[in-house]
Every structure is written in C-alpha cells, then in structure tokens.
Chains A and B, each alone.
Chain A
Amino acid sequence: MMVLIPILLPALMAPVIWFAGRRSSLAARVLLLVTALLHAGGTIALYRWCDAPMEGEYLGVDPLGLWVVSITSLLFLCVSLHAFFWLPMARKYEGGAHGRSLMSEHLFCSILVCFLSTMTLVALSRNFGLLWVAVEATTLASAPLICFHRSAGSLEAMWKYLLICSVGIGLALFGTLMLGVAIQPPVGAEPGLGFTVLGAACNTVNPAWFKAAFIFCFAGYGLKMGLAPFHTWLPDAHSEAPSMVSVLLSGALLNCSFLGIVRVLGVAPASLRSFCNGYLVAFGVLSLVIAAFFIIRQSDYKRMLAYSSVEHMGLLAIFFGLDEEVTGLIHMGVHSLTKMMLFLIAGNILMACGTRSVEKVRGLFERMPRTAWLWAAGMFLICGTPPSPLFVTELLLVQRAGWWLGGTILLLLFAVFCGMSMIVFRMVGGKAAPECAVSRDAERAAEKLAWLPGVLAVLLLGWGSLLIWNFMGRL
C-alpha cells in the first residue's frame, strides 16, 4: 500500500488546498509546499523496491518508474518552492500590470497537485490500460493549468492541447487494445493488459498485430511526448503556460509520456525490436530536424525552449532506438533539470519585461545581471557544452551512432546551438531597451527569484564535472 501514498496523497490534498486556500492564498502555497515535501518523502520511501522490483497487477515499482517518479517529485518540489515566492509577484506584476484576471491561487494549486498525482500514477502503473488512463488524466489535469492567465492565447493553446492530445491518446488506447489482441496469453492464464502478463507471453505474439499496436502506441504516446511531426501542440502549450507549469509539462510530463513507449518496448519480442528501433531513430532524427529549423530565427524565447524540448525528446528516442537505455535515462534526468532552470529564468524575464518577443528584450546584462548570467549559462548547458552533463551523454550517443547517423546528429545539434546562442546573445547583450521593462520593481523581484535557477546551475555544473571526471579515464 506504500505505493499508493505518492499517488493518493496529492489527490487527497487537492480538496484540502481548495478549501483552505479560499481563505488565504498563503495557506494554499504552504499546503502546496507541504504536499510536495510529503510526495518527495513518499518517493524516497519507494526506494526500498529499487533493487527488487515490486510488480502488482495494477501498480508496482521498478527502477525505470522510480527514476521517472524521482525526477517528477524533485521538479515538483522545486516548482512549488518557486511558486511559493512567485505567485504573489505574479498577481502583482503579471495580473495587474496587464489587466488580466488570473486563475485563483487555491484552484491553481489544487489542480497542480492533481497533476502531480496523475503523473505519479503513470510512472507507477503496471497495466497498459491503467497507464493509458493515467496519461489521459495528466492531459486533463494539466490543461486548465495552461490558462493561468486567462488570455486569448492561453485559451487557444489549451484548446489545441486538449484536442490534439486527446486524439493522440485515443490512438494510444487503440494501440493498447491491439496489444491485447496481438499478445495472446497462454490458455489458462487470466487475461488482461498487465505488463507481467503480456511480458510473460510476449513470445506468442502475432507480428502483424504487434506492429500495428506498436505504431498506434508510438504515435499516441509520441504525440504526448512531442516527437515531430506530432509535436504541433507543444510549443503553444509550453509557451502560453506560466513558466512553472511549463517546467512540469516539459520536464516531467514528457518523460512520463515517453515512459508509455518504453513500456510497450518492454513487451516487444526480440524479433521485432529492430522494427521498433527503426521508428524510434527515424522520428528522433525528424524531431531534431524540425527543432533545429524552428529554433533558428525563433522570435519567442519560450517557444525556443519548447522546441529545444522537442529536440531532446528526439535525442531520447534515438538513445532508446540505439539500445543506449542507461545513458538515455541520464540524459532524460539532466534535460529535465536543465529545462526547469531555463524555464524558470524565462519566467522571470517574462515577469520583468512583460514580453516574450526576443526582439524586445535587450541588454539583460545591464538590467538583470544575475538572470542574464544564468540565461547564458543555461543555454550552454542545454546545448551540451562541457562541463554540461549532456556533453557526455550526447558524446556517447554520437559515438554509438557511427558515421552517418552520428554525423547527422552532430550537424543538427550544431544548428540548434547556432540558433539558440544567437537568440540568447541578442537578449543578454547590447544596450538595454527601456520601453520593454514592466517596472524597476518587477526587475528587482525577478532578480530575487533568480536564486533557485542559480542553485540548479551549480548542481548541474557539479554533476557534469563529476560525469566528465568519471569518463576521463574511460574514453
């Protein structure tokens, strides 16, 4: 029953936060923080199954799920910490300043915790049906979060997110059902869509059905994870959502969706593994291409980050397509942390400048030195410049990929770097443009908020140095 704690606890906290938060926003924020802490505790408690996986019929813990849950929990903890300071400022600088009506805090926080519980459910479910339900639930829980500022743009983004993702997830459900048909459990074994059941029976599989099943699951979960050309909803949602939600969407939710694909791969018979890998690599590379071309000359820095998420999801797919699971998982974790840092900074910049357009933001170094430093540093980190951990993972990927694939990946990564660095330098350098600042206070507030990304940056640099140090001898 310990498995249920991290899932149910946030779900149960939701109404509490709702009622308590109506009185005072402080209560909502504190409770949010408390929930995050409890969830982190619950996650740590799960580690007793780290070595010996626990496989129930519906729920269970295995290293993969545990890793995803840990990332999610850590991100949520940081985000709620950020939210604790950010929400009041948001009301002050983003709501009032633009005459927008913001979503009420208690509602926001309670939906947030629901989102957390659904994501945890995804990571811990051991049954394809349940997995699907959970993934769909994440969509439902995250959709309202997108329009925290009730603007036309955010509503549109939410609508697209809702519709496209639901369609995609529908495809995934179709695929799941086909999986049930494809893998016939031996006679006598009770039927069902449990991983264990299907995994045990995966040698009595019908290739044709399995291929169809895989394709639909891949399309569905791939859509939710933002692989091109299914990524179309992603930039809108990630750019319109408030930054802390973007963090969860791109740092945690994408991983969870990817987990869906990995689970399907888990029950794939060895004979069909190459078939699946082909799709993974192909769509990974396609995502890289799309991301590269959309990052070059991107005019909205939050969209730039969203496309960089597409890029990294593509890399993740390639990792698994080349059977580099472990490195892939490291990459996943690093990407989540780095992307969290970047999105938080982007949020601060947005709060201070009130615009998402690259052209209008200039001379950050003069106005917000800390933010500017972190923004530039984060850019280098996400692009895999040493000492970023991504340097090592991407290096291993390229090495594994060999001449043509590796060369292509290098080229595309380089293109991405060109686009991103140009945008970032334009924002941080040059003379400050006075007209785009909301107010001096807003800038100061943003500077105050810069400490969390700073900590993250130090963390990542340390991790990267450690990783590089480990590989010094080996490569």
Chain B
Amino acid sequence: MDGVAWGIWGMGAFVAFLFSRSSSIATGTGCVAVCAGALAALAGWGARLTFPPCEVAGFFQLPILVLAVAGAIHSLGYLKGHGEKRAGTYWGFYNITVAAMYGVTLAGSPFQFLVLWELMGLASFALVAFERESKEVMRAAWIYIVACHAGAAFLIAMFFFGGTPTAVFVLGVIGFGLKIGFPLLHVWLPEAHPAAPAPVSALMSGAMIQLGFYGLLTYCTWSLSEYALYGWTLLGLGVIGTFGGMLFALGQTNLKKLLAYSSIENMGVMAIGFGFGFLGSASGNAGMSLFGFAGAFLHLLIHALLKGGLFLGAGSILRAEGTLEMDRMGGLLKRAPFTGWVFAMNAAGLSGLPPFAGFLSEFLIYLAALAGLTAPGHYGVFAMSLAVLIVLALTGGLAASAYVKAVGAVFLGEPRSPEAAEAHEVTASMKWVPGALLILSALLTAGASWVIEYGFPAYCGNTAGREMAVCIAALRYVGVFSGLLILLAAIGLVWRFRLVPRSRRGRVAPTWDCGYRNPSARMEYTGTAFTQPLTDFFAGVLRPRVAEEKPEGDFPRKSSFEEWIEDGGVRFLWQPVFRALAYLAHRIHVLQSGYLHLYILAMVLTLLAMLLWAFLFSAGTEGGF
C-alpha cells in the first residue's frame, strides 16, 4: 500500500507541476492526491498493524498522514486569493514533502534515509519560500535550508564514519537536533514557521520536526550500554529547551513566532520524556522508564494534533485579520467565534490543562519525575527528577500565560487596529479543520489508556507489570475526570443560562471604566504589556530590547515605549559567528588582489615550497640509476 501511496503522491506532484498554468486543476489534483495517498498509506498502516504493534514508526506516521490531510484541506481556503497562480508549485511540493516524510519513516538503509531526509528538507524549503517576493521570507528560507544541510552533513558523518556508539549518538543528536530544534540548534524554527504558509507550518511543526526523534530512536540509540548517556543528554537538552523555549515564546509579538517557540518547548518535553525513558532503563527504575517513554510517545501524537490545530488557526487568523502582529489585533472572537473558541481550546490543551489532551502527556512525565523521586536511586537521578519537576511546573505556568496572551490579544477586547475591526469569519474549510483536529485530540484523551496499552512500542521497557497497570489506571482516571469536568461545566452553564430566570440572566452594559467616560481600544492591555512583568522578571535570560520616548516637559507631546525580544541563540552565538566568517572571507579576498606580479610570486613561492618539501622532508629521494 505504501507503494500505492507514493505513486499517488508522485502523480499528484507531477500533474500539479504539469498544469501549474491552471490553478484549478493543480489545486484539485494536488489536494485529492494528498488525501487519497494518505488514505492508501493509512490502509497500509492498518494492514501492518499487529497487536500489540511493536514498531516505533507508527507513532510518527499517524501525525504525518493526519496533518497532511488537514493541511491540504485547510490550504483550499488559505490559498484562495493569495498566490493562487502558483498553486501548481505549492501542491507539487506539498505532495513531495508528504511523500518524503512518509518515506523517511520507512527507509530501509542509511542511504535511503539520507536521500529521503534531504528530499524532505528540500521540498519543504520550497514550500517555506512560497511567498518569495518578500525578502524576509527568502532569508528565513535560507536559514532553514542551511540548517537542513548542516544537519544532513552531520548525519552523513554519523552514518558513514560514526564509529563508537558515543560518537554516533553525539553526531546524531546534533544532526537530528537541527531538525528537532534542540537549544542553540533551534534558530531556524522561529524564522521558518512564520515565513511558511500556515498549513505548511502545521505540517512541519506537527509532524516533520518530530521525525528527528524518529531518527534518534532508530539510528542513534541502539547500544544498551549507553542508555545512561542517552538519558542524561536528552534530559539536559530537554530541560533547557522546555524552559528556554517557553520563555522566549512568552516575549513574542508575532503569533506564529510564539507558536514556533512553543514547538521548541514541546520538543523539549518530548526529549525529557525519552530521557527519563532511557535513564529509567539504565538505572533499573521501571516506572520512570515506562512513564517517560509513554509520556513522550503520547505527547508526540497530542502535540501533533494540537499544534497543527493552532497553526491552522493562526492561518485562519491571518486570513481574517491580514496580520500576525498580536498587538494590532483584538476582538476577533465576536467576528469569528468558531475559530476563536477552537483556538482557545487548542491553546488550553497545549498549556497542558485538563480536560484537554495536553494534560495527559505532561501528567505521565510528571509521574516519571515523581517515580524518580520516590525510588531510592542515586543522587544524580534524584536531583534531575526534582529539577524536571520544578521546571515543568514553572513552564506550565509560563505556557498558560503565553497562551492566555495569545488568545486574549487576538480574540478578546476591542480591535486595536482598523483592519482588525473589519475582520470576518473565514471560509468553511479553514473553519472546520482545526475543529476536527480538536475533536481528534478529545478522542485521544478518551482513548489514551488503550493507546498505551496496545500501541506501545515494546522496546521501550516492560509493557506488562505493575507500572503498566498504574500508568493505565492513571490515564483512565484522568480521562474520567476530564469527562466529569466537561459535565460539571455543562451543568453550570445550563444552570446559569437556562435555569436562572430570564429576568436575572443578565443585561448588557459598557465595561466598568472606573469613571473614565470614553475608553478606547488604545487603553487596552496589549499582549506585550500582559507578559511584561514575567519578561521583566526573566530579563536576565531574555535580554529584552527596549526603544522608548519618555514624556518630557510639563505638557508632554508624544511618548512611546516598545519592547521586543530577539532570539538568544541568534543574537549571542550564530550572528557573531557568521559575522566573523563573513569578515574573515572579506579579509581573505585580498589574495585575489588583481596584481599579476603577486599571482606569479605566489606561484613561484608555492613551487619552491613543494620542492623544499619533496627534497627535505619526504623520504625516498636517494638512489641513482
């Protein structure tokens, strides 16, 4: 079936490219091909499915297929009226990307893997560079493709002269980390995701970057004796990534940038999960291992659904408002209620709040950390568990406020700009797809225990036994409580808006304004202002940039305050490095000075040097005829 799927995708791409003149044909075939191929692949997936299915790949394939379809349908609305004339390009590369991503999970040999991996990067690069008139987009695309290439270089090194397990792992962590977005290797995410069309960002952030973990699990972590190393490395990276990612997400003003940073955070969470898994197996803590792996794999699926929904929602917002700058939006909830509620629920889910899916995986990882605390282990494991516990808790709080900021700034209050004022609800396809993803995540919440029970990769530790029972029980409990919560909320709402007598249900009045008669949208709290206390508190890490005009004089004329946050990795590591290289290159150009005399001089000196080497330092000159 996979072959069929690839065939369909390939044909789709081909036809789309062929008929790029007529957007309707290209769009139709492209979209249909994506969906049909996904269905075929899904059939193949189901056929491969044995009980219990012991393959890791399955966990990575489902998100690809789901998000591919979701993104395809969403694109129908998203592209309408924007770059339709390039629909052929879009759909062609979309199909190739999907095919390559699916192929990566099925690659049989390192070489196949490499080729498909590069192809994936290349095709998705073409999608990122879709809006190529804009200089910023091209720059983002450049950063992305460079990151892809660097990763590929490390992978080549890993595959072809890796050597010891440790070397393989280190190279793999760097090579795949560039795709995953481990701290300091993450720079391309906040650049590429805002630049790409929303469905593409959804596909990339929800399914593609996770494939890095697939690579790590499949090709780099095969040596049982090194599990401790794997565990510690992943935990360290995960903790930094989680906290740092969320912290920087907090400071963003561009919605999709915020989401991109939250992807970095979620990848960190997964890393923590896998790290606990490995560390648990290494230190003989079965519970920790199981909870860690289970949490990580669950988070894989959940993050795919929720983040996909959020990015698609962001796409809808972009089409509705025409901007992604949160401080210029506002009041969209009244104009696009459905999109708003769905976005809010997805956001709550990703900040790990019950009754939404996001809580499940975080919960399991908390359990892993607690298992590390309760088991009499050695100090290191204990300390790490404690650190993870605290960091996860803090990050949870930060995530909540970041998403509150996003929802509040985009959907609530009064519009902060004229274009926001005449926003409108989006077309059906863009409207319903995020909702569908939300429903899927709800189903996942209900069925999580079964996913773990049956769909759990066997190699991740003991799939039977006490820990498994605990895990499943906990998941069931959480599921029940989520249901209860929804029930309670429903009851409360029904009581408040149905049972309370109509006379007391509530009338509409202006917002309480503390006596100031005509409040305007400019008095509202902006998103930046909302998170400013936190960004101030963590200024040591974030180093916010500030541009302000203080009010002066007795009758101050104009004054302004602007605060924004630049990526730490770019600002303090990569930018200096690249500058230094550019400068060095600039200096080295002096060699090509244009003076014939110097050229000849260089030649003669080299010649003499060669002779010197040959006759002084290299053996074997003696001997006559």
List residues of A whose CB falls within 8 A of some B CB.
Answer: 159-160, 163-164, 167-168, 171, 184, 204, 206-208, 211-212, 215-216, 218-219, 223, 229-230, 232-233, 235, 271-272, 275, 278-279, 290, 293-294, 296-297, 363, 365-366, 380, 385-387, 391, 395, 398-399, 402-403, 406-407, 410-411, 413-415, 417-419, 421-422, 425-426, 428-431, 468, 471-475
Cβ of B226 within 8 Å of any chain A Cβ, yes or no, is: no
Within 8 A of A (CB), among B566-625: 581-582, 584-586, 588-589, 591-592, 596, 599-600, 602-603, 606-607, 610-611, 614-615, 618, 620-625
Within 8 A of A (CB), among B95-133: 109-112, 114-115, 118-119, 122, 129, 132-133
**Cβ-defined contact, B146 with A208, below 8 A:** no
**Cβ-defined contact, A219 with B122, below 8 A:** no
Selected from A230, A387, A428, the residue in CB contact (under 8 A) with B132 is: A428
**Cβ-defined contact, A421 with B146, below 8 A:** yes
**Cβ-defined contact, A212 with B614, below 8 A:** yes
**Cβ-defined contact, A223 with B603, below 8 A:** yes
Task: Specify which chain A residues have a CB less than 8 angstroms from the CB of B421 in the assembled complex.
Answer: none
12 A-B pairs besides A211-B618, A395-B160, A418-B146 with CB distance below 8 A are A163-B596, A207-B622, A212-B614, A215-B610, A219-B607, A232-B599, A293-B585, A386-B115, A422-B142, A425-B142, A430-B133, A472-B112
Given A160-B596, A402-B161, A417-B146, the answer on whether A385 and B622 have CB atoms closer than 8 Å is no
Task: Specify which chain A residues have a CB less than 8 angstroms from the CB of B610 in the assembled complex.
Answer: 215, 218-219, 279
Given A399-B160, A410-B156, the answer on whether A293 and B584 have CB atoms closer than 8 Å is yes
Task: Specify which chain A residues have a CB less than 8 angstroms from the CB of B255 in the assembled complex.
Answer: none
B152 to chain A, nearest CB (A): 9
Given A296-B585, A422-B142, the answer on whether A398 and B160 have CB atoms closer than 8 Å is yes
**Cβ-defined contact, A215 with B607, below 8 A:** yes
The 4 closest A-B pairs by CB, nearest first: A429-B138, A475-B111, A232-B599, A296-B585
Selected from A232, A294, A411, the residue in CB contact (under 8 A) with B585 is: A294
**Cβ-defined contact, B133 with A406, below 8 A:** no
Q: How far is the CA of A364 from the CA of B314 in the complex (A)?
A: 30
Task: Specify which chain A residues have a CB less than 8 angstroms from the CB of B615 in the assembled complex.
Answer: 208, 211
Task: Specify which chain A residues have a CB less than 8 angstroms from the CB of B157 in the assembled complex.
Answer: 398, 406-407, 410
Task: Specify which chain A residues have a CB less than 8 angstroms from the CB of B137 in the assembled complex.
Answer: 429
B60 to chain A, nearest CB (A): 21
A219 to chain B, nearest CB (A): 5
**Cβ-defined contact, A294 with B592, below 8 A:** yes
**Cβ-defined contact, B606 with A207, below 8 A:** no
**Cβ-defined contact, B621 with A208, below 8 A:** yes
B586 to chain A, nearest CB (A): 6
Q: How far is the CA of A419 from the CA of B149 in the complex (A)?
A: 13
Task: Specify which chain A residues have a CB less than 8 angstroms from the CB of B146 in the assembled complex.
Answer: 417-418, 421
B609 to chain A, nearest CB (A): 10
**Cβ-defined contact, B109 with A230, below 8 A:** no
Question: Which residue of chain B has its CB nearest to the CB of A235?
Answer: B592
Question: Which residue of chain A has its CB nearest to the CB of B610?
Answer: A215
Q: How far is the CA of A109 from the CA of B216 in the complex (A)?
A: 58
Q: How far is the CA of A168 from the CA of B161 in the complex (A)?
A: 39
Q: How far is the CA of A24 from the CA of B132 in the complex (A)?
A: 45
Selected from A229, A395, A406, the residue in CB contact (under 8 A) with B606 is: A229
B596 to chain A, nearest CB (A): 6
Given A399-B161, A429-B132, the answer on whether A297 and B115 have CB atoms closer than 8 Å is no
Cβ of B153 within 8 Å of any chain A Cβ, yes or no, is: yes
**Cβ-defined contact, B614 with A297, below 8 A:** no
Cross-chain pairs A/B with CB under 8 angstroms, 26 sampled: A164-B603, A208-B615, A208-B622, A215-B607, A219-B610, A229-B602, A230-B603, A232-B592, A275-B614, A275-B618, A293-B588, A293-B589, A296-B581, A297-B585, A385-B149, A386-B114, A386-B119, A395-B156, A398-B156, A399-B161, A406-B161, A414-B150, A429-B132, A429-B137, A430-B132, A431-B135
Selected from B109, B150, B603, the residue in CB contact (under 8 A) with A472 is: B109
**Cβ-defined contact, A229 with B603, below 8 A:** yes
**Cβ-defined contact, A425 with B141, below 8 A:** yes
Task: Specify which chain B residues have a CB less than 8 angstroms from the CB of A407 in the assembled complex.
Answer: 157
Given A365-B132, A431-B133, A471-B111, the answer on whether A272 and B620 have CB atoms closer than 8 Å is yes
Per-position contact with A for B255-291: 1 when CB-CB < 8 Å, else 0?
Answer: 0000000000000000000000000000000000000
A266 to chain B, nearest CB (A): 20
Given A164-B600, A425-B138, the answer on whether A215 and B122 have CB atoms closer than 8 Å is no
Q: How far is the CA of A211 from the CA of B623 in the complex (A)?
A: 12
Q: How far is the CA of A230 from the CA of B610 in the complex (A)?
A: 13
Selected from B135, B611, B623, the residue in CB contact (under 8 A) with A212 is: B611
B67 to chain A, nearest CB (A): 24
Task: Specify which chain A residues have a CB less than 8 angstroms from the CB of B621 in the assembled complex.
Answer: 207-208, 211
Task: Specify which chain A residues have a CB less than 8 angstroms from the CB of B149 in the assembled complex.
Answer: 385, 414, 417-418
Cβ of B145 within 8 Å of any chain A Cβ, yes or no, is: yes
List residues of B whose CB falls within 8 A of some A CB.
Answer: 109-112, 114-115, 118-119, 122, 129, 132-135, 137-139, 141-142, 145-146, 149-150, 153, 156-157, 160-161, 163, 581-582, 584-586, 588-589, 591-592, 596, 599-600, 602-603, 606-607, 610-611, 614-615, 618, 620-625
Question: Which residue of chain A has its CB nearest to the CB of B111?
Answer: A475
Q: How far is the CA of A391 from the CA of B141 in the complex (A)?
A: 21
Given A163-B596, A294-B589, A385-B118, the answer on whether A207 and B623 have CB atoms closer than 8 Å is yes
Q: How far is the CA of A167 from the CA of B456 in the complex (A)?
A: 72
Question: Which residue of chain A has its CB nearest to the CB of B133?
Answer: A431
**Cβ-defined contact, A206 with B620, below 8 A:** no
B406 to chain A, nearest CB (A): 30
A215 to chain B, nearest CB (A): 5
B110 to chain A, nearest CB (A): 7
Task: Specify which chain A residues have a CB less than 8 angstroms from the CB of B622 in the assembled complex.
Answer: 207-208
Q: How far is the CA of A417 from the CA of B148 in the complex (A)?
A: 11
Task: Specify which chain B residues have a CB less than 8 angstroms from the CB of A402 in the assembled complex.
Answer: 161
**Cβ-defined contact, A363 with B133, below 8 A:** yes
**Cβ-defined contact, B119 with A387, below 8 A:** yes
Q: How far is the CA of A160 from the CA of B132 in the complex (A)?
A: 40
Task: Specify which chain A residues have a CB less than 8 angstroms from the CB of B114 in the assembled complex.
Answer: 386, 395
Task: Specify which chain B residues have a CB less than 8 angstroms from the CB of A160 in the assembled complex.
Answer: 596, 599
Q: How far is the CA of A223 from the CA of B581 in the complex (A)?
A: 28
Question: Which residue of chain B has its CB nearest to the CB of A275?
Answer: B618
Task: Specify which chain A residues have a CB less than 8 angstroms from the CB of B589 in the assembled complex.
Answer: 293-294, 297
Given A167-B600, A421-B145, the answer on whether A204 and B607 have CB atoms closer than 8 Å is no
Question: Which residue of chain B has its CB nearest to the CB of A402?
Answer: B161
Q: How far is the CA of A72 from the CA of B110 in the complex (A)?
A: 36
Q: How far is the CA of A297 from the CA of B135 in the complex (A)?
A: 17
Selected from A212, A232, A398, A471, the residue in CB contact (under 8 A) with B602 is: A232
Q: How far is the CA of A411 from the CA of B149 in the complex (A)?
A: 10
Task: Specify which chain B residues have a CB less than 8 angstroms from the CB of A414 in the assembled complex.
Answer: 149-150, 153
Task: Specify which chain A residues have a CB less than 8 angstroms from the CB of B591 in the assembled complex.
Answer: 229, 290
Q: How far is the CA of A411 from the CA of B582 in the complex (A)?
A: 16
Q: How far is the CA of A290 from the CA of B596 in the complex (A)?
A: 18
Q: How far is the CA of A431 from the CA of B592 in the complex (A)?
A: 32
Q: How far is the CA of A159 from the CA of B611 in the complex (A)?
A: 28
Q: How far is the CA of A332 from the CA of B161 in the complex (A)?
A: 25
Selected from B133, B600, B602, B607, the residue in CB contact (under 8 A) with A429 is: B133
Q: How far is the CA of A187 from the CA of B150 in the complex (A)?
A: 59
Q: How far is the CA of A385 from the CA of B118 in the complex (A)?
A: 7
B154 to chain A, nearest CB (A): 8
**Cβ-defined contact, B599 with A385, below 8 A:** no
Given A164-B600, A294-B589, the answer on whether A475 and B138 have CB atoms closer than 8 Å is no
**Cβ-defined contact, A426 with B602, below 8 A:** no
**Cβ-defined contact, A406 with B160, below 8 A:** yes
Q: How far is the CA of A391 from the CA of B114 in the complex (A)?
A: 10
**Cβ-defined contact, A421 with B142, below 8 A:** yes
Task: Specify which chain A residues have a CB less than 8 angstroms from the CB of B129 in the assembled complex.
Answer: 425, 429
A295 to chain B, nearest CB (A): 9
Q: How far is the CA of A163 from the CA of B109 in the complex (A)?
A: 52
